[in-house]
């Protein structure tokens, strides 16, 4: 099977109605069939990408005792640092072979949305400002991708805007450290589906990320240098009654000769505001596709899943 479909967002943004309609048709088909695309024409600049990689490498290279200062129990993993092996896929006991950081919304009054504030890294002056630039560029890209999806679903084009602009989104720089011994059962990221509406991933330019297709086969998801990978998350799959697919994916361990190298990736998890109802869309229900999911808010769905993956404890 060929690699994941490649699309150009500039076609959707153009004044050419034919190009726009073709983009909508192709993104809908891709998300129905495989749940992943590679996208060029997005709002991230090469400087955004290069600067963020520089900053996150500086952070993950800090001594462990300094990184540990930025892991706060009270934040329940929503902001700041999460140490190596702490998170696992749903249904797995083994922790993934990774450490990561969480940036959230950069708002003047995050408490208006009940969001925790971002944590400032004192040792790296540019860390947070570069994170903010990247967060905003990815959020803007995501809004337009959801507008195309809205048209495909025969909704108003701005259907998702009120839910995702200033939504509870997360930018997660991940470091997969060198593998020093044969892992018993753990992989860099075990097979999982994402929790959120859509995920935008920087850094899928080399092998590692794999997607399970409809035949149950694992295929490599590799983007070109100017592309980011965007996949459907469980919230959007649920909202559309599985019309759009949240595809199982994983990050596999590299061949043994490459164990000594770190791997970095930077997903942006687009979440809605917590009060959004994920109740299945009426126009995605019919006699052949009866309603599959109970009504739930985005907040409650998120909490349930964070408990499943070990980031939060059941209260």
pLDDT at residue 310 in the model:
66
Say yes or no to pLDDT of 84 above 90.
no
What's the DSSP call for residue 99?
A: E
Residue tagged 């935008």 (tokens):
200
How far is it, in rounded angstroms, from Cα 234 to Cα 210? Answer: 17
Percent of the chain with pLDDT over 90: 60
Assigned domain for 71 exists: yes
How far is it, in rounded angstroms, from Cα 164 to Cα 135? Answer: 13
Provide the β-strand partners of residue 103.
171
Assigned domain for 213 exists: yes
Phi (first) and psi of residue 116, to 5 degrees? -70, 150
Confidence of residue 267 (pLDDT cuts 50, 70, 90): very high
Give every CB contact of residue 268 below 8 A, 6+ residues apart in sequence: 134, 135, 138, 139, 142, 169, 170, 171, 172, 199, 200, 201, 202
Residue tagged 């860099």 (tokens):
188
Say yes or no to pLDDT of 265 above 50.
yes
Assigned domain for 163 exists: yes
Say yes or no to pLDDT of 95 above 60.
no
Assigned domain for 101 exists: yes
Distance of CA 286 to CAs 29, 152, 201, 234, 291, Å? 19, 17, 33, 20, 8
pLDDT at residue 31 in the model:
94
Average pLDDT, the chain: 86
Say yes or no to pLDDT of 75 above 80.
no
Q: What is the CATH number of the domain that holds 180?
A: 2.60.120.330
pLDDT at residue 254 in the model:
60
Say yes or no to pLDDT of 8 above 70.
yes
Question: Of the ranges 1-10, 40-49, 245-254, which one carries the lowest mean pLDDT score?
Answer: 245-254
Assigned domain for 85 exists: yes
Token reading at 278: 């994920």
Assigned domain for 1 exists: no
Q: Are 88 and 95 in contact (CB under 8 A)?
A: yes
Q: How far is C-alpha 107 from the chain's CA centre?
A: 20
- The 10s digit of each residue's pLDDT in 138-195 is 999 999 999 999 999 999 999 999 999 999 999 999 998 876 666 555 544 556 778 9
Determine the straight-line distance between the first and last CA of the chain, rounded to whole angstroms.
Answer: 45
Assigned domain for 148 exists: yes
Give every CB contact of residue 93 below 8 A, 6+ residues apart in sequence: none
Say yes or no to pLDDT of 280 above 90.
yes
Confidence of residue 20 (pLDDT cuts 50, 70, 90): very high
Assigned domain for 173 exists: yes
Q: What is the mean pLDDT of residues 124-137?
A: 95
pLDDT at residue 89 in the model:
47
Question: Residue 66 sits in which domain range?
Answer: 6-308
Confidence of residue 107 (pLDDT cuts 50, 70, 90): confident
pLDDT at residue 112 in the model:
77
Q: What is the mean pLDDT of residues 31-39?
A: 91
Q: Report the run of H or E that residue 257 belongs to, with start and end.
A: none
Strand, coil or helix: 13? helix
pLDDT at residue 308 in the model:
76
pLDDT at residue 1 in the model:
38
More confident residue, 17 or 109: 17
Count of structural domains within the chain: 1
- The 10s digit of each residue's pLDDT in 216-264 is 888 888 888 889 999 999 999 999 999 998 988 787 766 666 666 788 8
How far is it, in rounded angstroms, from Cα 304 to Cα 309? Answer: 9
């Amino acid at each position: 099977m060929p690699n994941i479909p490649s699309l150009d967002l500039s076609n959707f943004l153009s004044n050419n109605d034919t190009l726009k309609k073709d983009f909508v048709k192709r993104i809908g088909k891709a998300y129905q069939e495989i749940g992943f695309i590679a996208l060029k024409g997005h709002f991230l600049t090469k400087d955004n990408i290069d600067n963020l990689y520089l900053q996150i490498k500086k952070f993950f290279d800090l001594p462990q005792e300094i990184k540990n200062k930025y892991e706060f129990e009270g934040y329940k993993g929503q902001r700041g640092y999460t140490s190596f092996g702490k998170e696992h896929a749903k249904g797995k006991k083994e922790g993934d072979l990774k450490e990561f950081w969480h940036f959230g919304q950069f708002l003047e009054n995050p408490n208006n949305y009940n969001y925790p504030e971002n944590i400032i890294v004192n040792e790296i002056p540019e860390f947070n400002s570069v994170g903010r630039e990247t967060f905003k560029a990815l959020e803007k890209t995501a809004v337009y991708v959801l507008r195309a999806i809205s048209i495909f679903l025969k909704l108003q084009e701005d259907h998702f805007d009120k839910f995702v602009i200033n939504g509870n989104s997360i930018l997660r720089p991940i470091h997969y450290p060198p593998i020093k011994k044969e892992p018993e059962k753990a992989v860099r990221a075990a097979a999982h589906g994402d929790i959120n509406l859509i995920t935008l991933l920087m850094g899928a330019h080399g092998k590692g990320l794999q997607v399970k297709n409809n035949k149950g086969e694992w295929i490599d998801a590799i983007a070109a240098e100017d592309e980011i990978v965007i996949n459907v998350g469980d919230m959007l799959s649920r909202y559309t009654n599985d019309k759009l697919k949240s595809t199982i994916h994983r990050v596999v361990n590299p061949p043994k000769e490459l164990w000594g190298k770190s791997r970095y990736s930077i997903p942006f998890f687009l979440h809605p505001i917590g009060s959004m109802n994920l109740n299945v869309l009426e126009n995605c229900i019919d006699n052949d596709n009866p309603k599959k999911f109970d009504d739930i808010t985005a907040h409650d769905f998120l909490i349930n899943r964070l408990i499943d993956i070990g980031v939060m404890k059941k209260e």
